[in-house]
A and B are shown apart, each in its own frame.
Chain A
Amino acid sequence: MTATADALSEAKDALAATGDGRLWRDSLRSLLRQRSALVGMAILLFLAAIALFAPQLAPFDPDKPLLGVEEGVTAAAAPCIHFLGCPAIQPEHFMGTDSNFRDVLSRIIFGARISLVIGFITVGLAILVGAALGAVAGYAGGWLDTLIMRIMDVLLVFPSLLLAILLVTVLGRGLFNALLAIAIVAIPVYARIMRASVLSVREQDFVTASRALGESSTGILVRRILPNSLTPIVVAGTLGIGGAILDVAALSFIGLGAQPPTAEWGSMIGKELSRVFAAPHLLLFPGIALSLTVLAFNLVGDGLRDALDPRLDR
């Protein structure tokens, strides 16, 4: 009798040990110690501020041509900053205008909104579906596991951008469908990660303990296994946001994603493809904006991985 009581109290202790937030606190501290992750977070905060205050920051309407609105405006004009010696007769555009007489700076600013939202929604969707499938496959095992993972294998056999192009063709062009296609293509990655991490957590003592305490399968999966399997998903997700932004931009670049007049960075370059050599600012500014955003997510993702993976403790 006492042995059972001991085992029960041990089990309760084991469960309690998994519940505190020490891992996350330690990880945050270690994340803040890394210079490159800090740089990434600074860029992200900057971008988030720009996205949040886009209407206040943008000097012009991003979608409306300025022809007839502003005097002397020309199409695809190079950047003109009066302070740096641009003649005062010319209208001032910090990043020039595009071939539709629109202010590039305003479009870049509003583009930040779209790209950030794209990144989070795409990866969020992919994780939601992928993690659910992976968790079920890993926890249930058997034929369900085989079925789910074989479907994931088939999805993984196609080069991701090509599959996304195919999917958008089926779903129809547009930003939301592009986002959906990229999310679908990313599902197998998260399903695999989740399954692997569920498999490793499933056999640990605290899971056995809660099973001994009579917790239901669903309860064990949702309350015990999932929280303890999330770390690799969080890391992969952060690293995936950059890739998702790049892929959606690529789809927009070839005309399958964001449709005009939406100010999306990839489509800004794609729409001006014939002019980029005559007016390189049309390529340069959206290009820099894209790279910077992706870089920021990658730096934070790398930092997060180093912080959350105790094996990499240096």
Chain B
Amino acid sequence: MTRFIIRRILVSIPVLIAIVFVVFAVARIIPGDPCVATLGERATPEQCRLFAIRYGLDQPVAVQFAKYIGQVGSGDLGTSIKYQLPVTDLIIQRLPTTVELSFFALLFAVSVGIPLGIVSAYKRNSGIDVATMMFANLGYSTPVFVLGLVLAFAFAILLKGTPLALPPSGRLSTGVEVRTLIEVWHLEGVQGVPRVLLDFFSGIYTLTALVTFQGKAFVDALRHLILPAVALGTIPLAIIARITRSSLLDVMGQDYIRTARAKGLGGRLVLMRHAFRNAVLPVVTIIGLQIGLLLGGAVLTETIFNLSGVGKTVFEAIQSRDYVVIQGFTLVIAVGFLIVNLIVDLSYAVLDPRLSLR
């Protein structure tokens, strides 16, 4: 088990270095002059020369890369050209929005998708099964941005004034505020890594409001999350429901299920205790893979629902050729995705002890 974990982590290191290289290279070859993009068309050559020196753009690419590796290693991702802020600060500001959105989207997808898949498999070829699979097919085929806009139109405009109305943009209503963890717990003196963590978690409004008993703000933040989370979570939901169904059906055909039945165990008990446990592995793989899909979809969802998260920031950075932000954010996203995949791989070992023996 320990050897399996260590080997899996070691394999990730070359991939990590390759990611840093790809991110660096891509950010370098994006066409367009960052100086003109930042200072405007009327920037003088002299201004641009100083600009290049300031951001180290005048040095050979190899030197730039070596410097970049050193910087990243020490936790410095550079300073945003556009916002004039350290990228790490920007990440602490923007990442919580995306983490929160993705969490609720995944929660929605898993908590609805798995039960739907189980019911579908249990009542195979029934009306419920056919309806669920039709719904799954449709959900899988609808673009995130179309679904998001349809939801926003339905719940913010058609249902306006009814109790079902939901806000279509932003994270909180005007006038509502979530007090930060530092403010509530009077931790102004805290510095360093704990401070970063406190700031980060304060950005996850629902979590902060929940642990500090800010009831009104919690409800408001949650209401703002429903539409984007449903929009973002629907495609993963459809995929999870389908995989759960087919994986369960595979397992239900096995001999040991018949044995369990023959012992006189009830259908539901066999389903949950014998079949589902063995069917869960492909489902976990798929859930892990959805994280990448969620991050891609977040660009679209955040644009539609006007949320300043990672996706929207990267998109804006690309528009304004803010190399430093593109590099930093893509790196964080890729590393996050790598870690998620690692966790998924490791969870196999827990779920299926046979795997770690290989």
| Shortest distance from the beta carbon of B31 to any chain A beta carbon, whole Å | 7
Interface residues of A in 198-248 (CB under 8 A from B): 242, 246
| Shortest distance from the beta carbon of A257 to any chain B beta carbon, whole Å | 12
Contact bitstring B294-331, A, C-beta under 8 A = 1, else 0: 11110110011000000100110010000000100010
Would A170 and B26 be within 8 Å (CB), given that A150-B15, A159-B295 are in contact? Answer: yes
Q: How far is the CA of A89 from the CA of B272 in the complex (A)?
A: 64
Contact, CB under 8 Å: A277 / B295: no
- Asked if A258 lies at the interface with its beta carbon under 8 angstroms from chain B, I say no
Partner among A161, A269, A294 whose Cβ is within 8 Å of the Cβ of B299? A161
Contact, CB under 8 Å: B18 / A166: no
Contact, CB under 8 Å: A290 / B143: yes
Contact, CB under 8 Å: B146 / A154: no
Residue numbers in B under 8 Å from A308 (CB-CB): none
Residue numbers in A under 8 Å from B142 (CB-CB): 287, 290-291, 294
Q: How far is the CA of A160 from the CA of B146 in the complex (A)?
A: 19
Contact bitstring A155-187, B, C-beta under 8 A = 1, else 0: 001111110011101101000000000000000
Contact bitstring B31-57, A, C-beta under 8 A = 1, else 0: 100000000000000000000000000
Would A291 and B29 be within 8 Å (CB), given that A157-B337, A159-B292, A269-B145 are in contact? Answer: no
Partner among B31, B144, B150, B152 whose Cβ is within 8 Å of the Cβ of A170? B31
Q: How far is the CA of A284 from the CA of B143 in the complex (A)?
A: 12
Would A158 and B144 be within 8 Å (CB), given that A150-B14, A295-B137 are in contact? Answer: no
Would A159 and B15 be within 8 Å (CB), given that A250-B143, A280-B153, A295-B137 are in contact? Answer: no
Closest residue of A by beta carbon distance from B289 = A156
- Asked if A153 lies at the interface with its beta carbon under 8 angstroms from chain B, I say yes
Partner among A154, A165, A253 whose Cβ is within 8 Å of the Cβ of B15? A154
Contact, CB under 8 Å: B30 / A169: yes
Q: How far is the CA of A158 from the CA of B315 in the complex (A)?
A: 15
Contact, CB under 8 Å: B15 / A299: no
Residue numbers in A under 8 Å from B143 (CB-CB): 246, 249-250, 253, 266, 287, 290-291, 294
Q: How far is the CA of A121 from the CA of B14 in the complex (A)?
A: 33
Residue numbers in B under 8 Å from A292 (CB-CB): 141
Q: Which of B14, B19, B152, B330 has the most CB of A within 10 A?
A: B330
- Asked if B293 lies at the interface with its beta carbon under 8 angstroms from chain A, I say yes
Would A158 and B299 be within 8 Å (CB), given that A170-B26, A291-B143, A298-B140 are in contact? Answer: no
Would A158 and B337 be within 8 Å (CB), given that A266-B143, A276-B153, A283-B153 are in contact? Answer: yes
| Shortest distance from the beta carbon of A285 to any chain B beta carbon, whole Å | 11
Residue numbers in A under 8 Å from B294 (CB-CB): 159
- Asked if B222 lies at the interface with its beta carbon under 8 angstroms from chain A, I say no
Residue numbers in B under 8 Å from A277 (CB-CB): 152-153, 156-157
- Asked if B343 lies at the interface with its beta carbon under 8 angstroms from chain A, I say no
Grouping DSSP codes into helix (H, G, I), strand (E, B) and loop, the A interface class, with mixed when no group exceeds half, is helix
Residue numbers in B under 8 Å from A114 (CB-CB): none
Contact, CB under 8 Å: B149 / A276: yes
Contact bitstring B266-294, A, C-beta under 8 A = 1, else 0: 00000000000000000000000001111
- Asked if B138 lies at the interface with its beta carbon under 8 angstroms from chain A, I say yes
| Shortest distance from the beta carbon of B125 to any chain A beta carbon, whole Å | 10
Interface residues of A in 261-282 (CB under 8 A from B): 266, 269-270, 273, 276-277, 280
- Asked if B251 lies at the interface with its beta carbon under 8 angstroms from chain A, I say no
| Number of A residues with CB within 8 Å of any CB on chain B | 41
Q: How far is the CA of A295 from the CA of B138 in the complex (A)?
A: 6
Residue numbers in B under 8 Å from A153 (CB-CB): 15
Contact, CB under 8 Å: A269 / B297: no
Contact, CB under 8 Å: A295 / B141: yes
Partner among B137, B300, B334 whose Cβ is within 8 Å of the Cβ of A253? B300
Contact, CB under 8 Å: A169 / B22: no
- Asked if B91 lies at the interface with its beta carbon under 8 angstroms from chain A, I say no
Contact bitstring B132-166, A, C-beta under 8 A = 1, else 0: 00000110111111100110110011000000000
Q: How far is the CA of A25 from the CA of B315 in the complex (A)?
A: 48
Residue numbers in B under 8 Å from A150 (CB-CB): 14-15, 18
Contact, CB under 8 Å: A165 / B315: yes
- Asked if A148 lies at the interface with its beta carbon under 8 angstroms from chain B, I say no
| Shortest distance from the beta carbon of B344 to any chain A beta carbon, whole Å | 13
Would A291 and B138 be within 8 Å (CB), given that A159-B333, A162-B330 are in contact? Answer: yes
| Shortest distance from the beta carbon of B25 to any chain A beta carbon, whole Å | 9
- Asked if A254 lies at the interface with its beta carbon under 8 angstroms from chain B, I say yes
Partner among A159, A165, A295 whose Cβ is within 8 Å of the Cβ of B293? A159
Would A157 and B299 be within 8 Å (CB), given that A162-B330, A165-B315, A299-B137 are in contact? Answer: no
Closest residue of B by beta carbon distance from A278 = B157
Closest 6 CB pairs of A and B: A161-B296, A287-B146, A295-B141, A294-B141, A159-B292, A159-B295
8 contacts across the A-B interface (CB closer than 8 A)? A157-B15, A159-B295, A162-B296, A166-B326, A170-B31, A250-B300, A287-B143, A298-B141
Beyond A150-B18, A294-B141, list 12 extra A-B contacts (CB 8 Å): A36-B137, A157-B334, A158-B292, A159-B291, A159-B333, A161-B300, A165-B318, A170-B31, A287-B142, A291-B138, A294-B143, A299-B137
